Chains A and B, each alone.
Chain A
Amino acid sequence: MTKRILSTVALGLAAVLGVSACGTNANSTSAAKKTDASLTVAHSEGGKTLDPAEANDGTSDTLVIAAYDQLVTYEKKVVNGKPVAKTETIVPMLAESWKADKAGTTYTFTLRKDVTFHNGKKMTSDDVVRSFKHIADSASASFLYKMAGIVSVTANGENSVVITLKNTNHLFLQILPMYSFSIIDMDAADKAGDPKWLAKNTAGTGPYVVDSWDPATEAKLARNDKYWGTAPAIKTVNMKFIGDASNRLQLLKKGSVDLALELAPKDVETLKDSSGVVIDSRPSNKILFFAMNNKVPPFDNPKVRQAISYAIPYDKLLTDVMKGQATRMKSAVASSTPGFVTTGYTATYDLAQAKKLLAEAGLATGFSFTFTLGSGFPDWNDDAVLIQAELAKIGVTMNIQNMARAQFLEALAGKNVQSYISRWTSFVNDPGYHLGLLLTSTGTSNYANYTNPQLDALWTKAATEQDAAARNTLYEKAQLLINQDSPWAYLYEYNIVVAQRSTVDGYTSYPDALIRYAQLNKKNT
Chain B
Amino acid sequence: MPFVFQRVFSMIPTLAGVVVGIFLITRVLPGDPARTLAGEQAAPSILAKLREHMGLDKPLWQQFVDYTAGLFRGDLGYAWHTGHPVAEDFATRFPATVELGIAALFIGVIAGIPLGVLSAVKHGRFIDHVTRVISLVGASMPLFWLGLLVIWLCYSQLGWAPAPVGRLGDDVQPPTHITGLYLLDSILTGDTMALGNSFAHLIWPALVLSVGAIAMISRMTRSAMLEVLGQDYIRTAHAKGLSPTTVVSVHALKNAAPAITTIVGLELGQLLGGAVITETIFSWPGIGGYVTKSIDATDYAPVQAITLLAAVIYLVVNLLVDLSQGMFDPRVRHG
CB pair B280–A244 under 8 Å, yes or no, is: yes
Q: Is A88 part of the contact surface with B, judged by Cβ < 8 Å? A: no
Q: Known contacts A240-B165, A406-B31: does B83 contact A437 (CB below 8 Å)?
A: no
CB pair A56–B156 under 8 Å, yes or no, is: no
Q: How far is the CA of A412 from the CA of B36 in the complex (A)?
A: 12
CB pair B166–A218 under 8 Å, yes or no, is: yes
Q: Is A133 part of the contact surface with B, judged by Cβ < 8 Å? A: no
Which of the residues A49, A57, A139 comes within 8 Å of B46, measured between beta carbons? A139
Which of the residues B33, B46, B81, B290 comes within 8 Å of A142, measured between beta carbons? B46
CB pair B84–A215 under 8 Å, yes or no, is: yes
CB pair A243–B283 under 8 Å, yes or no, is: yes
Q: Is A34 part of the contact surface with B, judged by Cβ < 8 Å? A: no
A residues 395-425 near B (Cβ < 8 Å) are 404-407, 409-410, 412-413, 422-425
Q: Which residues of A have CB within 8 Å of B52?
A: 139
CB pair B40–A445 under 8 Å, yes or no, is: yes
Return B79 CB to nearest CB of chain A, in Å: 9
Binds A, one of B64-72, B147-155, B177-185, B227-235: B147-155
Select from chain B the residue with minimum beta-carbon distance to A403.
Answer: B30
Select from chain B the residue with minimum beta-carbon distance to A50.
Answer: B83
Q: Is B44 part of the contact surface with A, judged by Cβ < 8 Å? A: yes
Select from chain A the residue with minimum beta-carbon distance to B169.
Answer: A256
CB pair B38–A250 under 8 Å, yes or no, is: no
CB pair B165–A256 under 8 Å, yes or no, is: yes
Q: Is B331 part of the contact surface with A, judged by Cβ < 8 Å? A: no
CB pair A196–B41 under 8 Å, yes or no, is: no
CB pair A200–B156 under 8 Å, yes or no, is: no
Q: How far is the CA of A444 from the CA of B44 in the complex (A)?
A: 7
Q: Known contacts A40-B170, A56-B38, A409-B32: does B82 contact A251 (CB below 8 Å)?
A: no
Return A212 CB to nearest CB of chain B, in Å: 11
B residues 40-56 near A (Cβ < 8 Å) are 40-46, 49-50, 52-53
Q: Which residues of A have CB within 8 Å of B38?
A: 56, 139-140
Q: Is A328 part of the contact surface with B, judged by Cβ < 8 Å? A: no
Q: Is B216 part of the contact surface with A, judged by Cβ < 8 Å? A: no
Q: Is B13 part of the contact surface with A, judged by Cβ < 8 Å? A: no
CB pair A409–B45 under 8 Å, yes or no, is: no
CB pair A405–B36 under 8 Å, yes or no, is: yes
Q: Known contacts A246-B148, A253-B156, A445-B40: does B82 contact A406 (CB below 8 Å)?
A: no
Chain A contact patch, size range:
35 or more
Q: Which residues of A have CB within 8 Å of B30?
A: 404, 406-407, 410
Return A10 CB to nearest CB of chain B, in Å: 28
B residues 206-240 near A (Cβ < 8 Å) are none
Q: Which residues of B have CB within 8 Å of A139?
A: 38, 46, 49-50, 52-53
CB pair B155–A142 under 8 Å, yes or no, is: no
Q: Which residues of A have CB within 8 Å of B45?
A: 142-143, 146
Q: How far is the CA of A253 from the CA of B298 in the complex (A)?
A: 34
Q: Known contacts A244-B281, A247-B281: does B92 contact A200 (CB below 8 Å)?
A: no
Q: Which residues of B have CB within 8 Å of A437?
A: 41, 43
CB pair A413–B35 under 8 Å, yes or no, is: yes
Return B207 CB to nearest CB of chain A, in Å: 17
Task: Annotate B62-106 by CB proximity to A: 1 below 8 A, 0 otherwise.
Answer: 000000000000000010111110000100110000000000000
Q: Is B265 part of the contact surface with A, judged by Cβ < 8 Å? A: no
Q: How far is the CA of A443 from the CA of B45 in the complex (A)?
A: 12
Q: Which residues of A have CB within 8 Å of B286?
A: 216
Q: Which residues of B have CB within 8 Å of A423?
A: 40
Select from chain B the residue with minimum beta-carbon distance to A437.
Answer: B41
Return B46 CB to nearest CB of chain A, in Å: 5
Please list the residues of chain A having a beta carbon within 8 angstroms of any beta carbon in chain B.
40, 46-51, 56-57, 138-140, 142-143, 146, 196, 199-200, 214-218, 238, 240-244, 246-247, 250-251, 253-254, 256, 376, 404-407, 409-410, 412-413, 422-425, 437, 444-445
Instruction: Write 19 A-B pairs (CB below 8 A) sorted by A numbering.
Output: A47-B83, A48-B37, A138-B49, A142-B46, A214-B285, A215-B82, A215-B83, A215-B84, A238-B170, A241-B283, A243-B280, A243-B289, A244-B283, A246-B148, A247-B283, A251-B164, A406-B296, A409-B31, A424-B41
* Apart from A250-B151, A254-B163: 15 A-B pairs, beta carbons within 8 A: A47-B83, A48-B37, A48-B82, A139-B46, A140-B50, A146-B45, A199-B83, A244-B283, A247-B281, A251-B163, A404-B30, A405-B36, A409-B40, A412-B40, A445-B41
The 5 closest A-B pairs by CB, nearest first: A406-B31, A216-B285, A256-B163, A49-B83, A139-B49
